[in-house]
Amino acid sequence: MPSYLTTSDVAARLGVSLDTVRRWLRSGELKGTPFGRAGYRIEDADFQAFLERRRHAQELAPSSAETVASAVFAEFMNTVGHELRMPLTTTRGVLHQAQRLLERVRESSLPENTTDQLTKLQHLLMRAERQVSSEMRLVGNLLDASRIEADIFEIAPVWCNLVEIVRETVLQQRELAAQRSIELVLPDDDIVAVIADPERIQQVLLNYLANALRFSPADQPITVRLTVSSTEARVAVHDQGPGIPPAQQNMIWESFRQEVGRSVRFGSGPGLGLYITRAIIRQHGGQTGVESYPGEGATFWCSLPLADDSWN
């Protein structure tokens, strides 16, 4: 008899889905090592320790009233998020259609004064589209936060190249904030392989960049740096803002928290970005952190384990 279980074995014994077992593994709640192309090997001792921790957690679980209240709140947040997203999606579609129509008109022969007016109109449409996109990100954060609170937040990890994800994210942000300077520092290797959900990792980087743009002076550059060690890759976003006092650096990762003491220069939000960022990276088996002192800017970073040979 083998002294270990597979992902399917655990799912069958506990009567849960494979996705649930994978979530336990990604969060570190259940220990396991990659086994085969997409599975895990869970040692029997680790499985028994997992069961014991869950029994203990159930003994300390909140009352049924608190559980119901938490579920109701999560459902409320989820409903509100969907209700807000629908009109924003429609508005963005209308803006896209207006921009395409405007581009076709500008390509035709028009008097010079008319062309100038259309150019101004196009800039206004682009500004409106950026604002709608920003509001949709806020709604997306509400939905993600409700899923995290309900413990149903999922990722879809695949083999991917972190260099490409970082590069594409920075290029995208440069287009959205063309007036700002965003510097990119990449390693010599063209490929940094990780097992990750590309869209979620991009969401993490966009959250970091949004914070840097929000709190950093407009005339100061923002630096995005990807480094690699023997076991992990690390992405850091450095800004030239006022910095964060050490006593506040743990609180900013909580839901509905903002970075107290940093003057807002580029929009604002409900304080969910860093909370969601930490949840995403923890699902990937990585870590997050910030290095900052008042008056010296801030460096937000995240690390991801490198892909091993079992995924090749």
Common-topology check for domains 4-59 and 64-149 = no
Domain boundaries along the sequence of the chain: 4-59, 64-149, 158-311
Instruction: Just give the CATH number of 64-149.
Output: 1.20.58
> pLDDT for 36-65, tens place per residue?
655 788 888 888 888 888 777 765 555 555
Predicted confidence band at 301 (pLDDT cuts at 50, 70, 90)? very high
Which tokens is 27 given?
């969060």
Three-state secondary structure string covering the chain: CCCEEEHHHHHHHHCCCHHHHHHHHHHCCCCCEEECCCEEEEEHHHHHHHHHHHHHHHHCCCCHHHHHHHHHHHHHHHHHHHHHHHHHHHHHHHHHHHHHHHHHHHHCCCCHHHHHHHHHHHHHHHHHHHHHHHHHHHHHHHHHHHHHHCCCCCCCCEEEEHHHHHHHHHHHHHHHCCCCCEEEECCCCCCCEEEECHHHHHHHHHHHHHHHHHHCCCCCCEEEEEEECCCEEEEEEEECCCCCCHHHCCHHHCCCCCCCCCCCCCCCCCCCHHHHHHHHHHHCCCEEEEEECCCCCEEEEEEEEECCHHHC
> pLDDT for 5-18, tens place per residue?
888 888 888 877 77
The domain over range 158-311 is classified in CATH as 3.40.50.970: no
Q: What is the mean pLDDT of the chain?
A: 79
Predicted confidence band at 77 (pLDDT cuts at 50, 70, 90)? low
Please, what CATH class does the domain formed by 4-59 belong to? mainly alpha
Nearest to 284 by CA among 211, 195, 173: 195
> pLDDT for 197-211, tens place per residue?
999 999 999 999 988
Q: What is the pTM of this model?
A: 0.61
Q: Which amino acid is at 3?
A: S
Are 123 and 163 in contact by the 8 Å Cβ rule? The answer is: no
**How many other C-beta atoms can be found within 10 angstroms of the C-beta atom of residue 26?**
20
> pLDDT for 148-189, tens place per residue?
776 777 888 999 999 999 999 999 889 878 889 999 999 999
Instruction: Quote the percentage of the chain above a pLDDT of 90.
Output: 30
Nearest to 304 by CA among 229, 237, 232: 232
Q: Which amino acid is at 165?
A: I
> pLDDT for 262-277, tens place per residue?
443 333 444 678 988 9
pLDDT at position 270: 45
Residue found under tokens 């290797």: 189
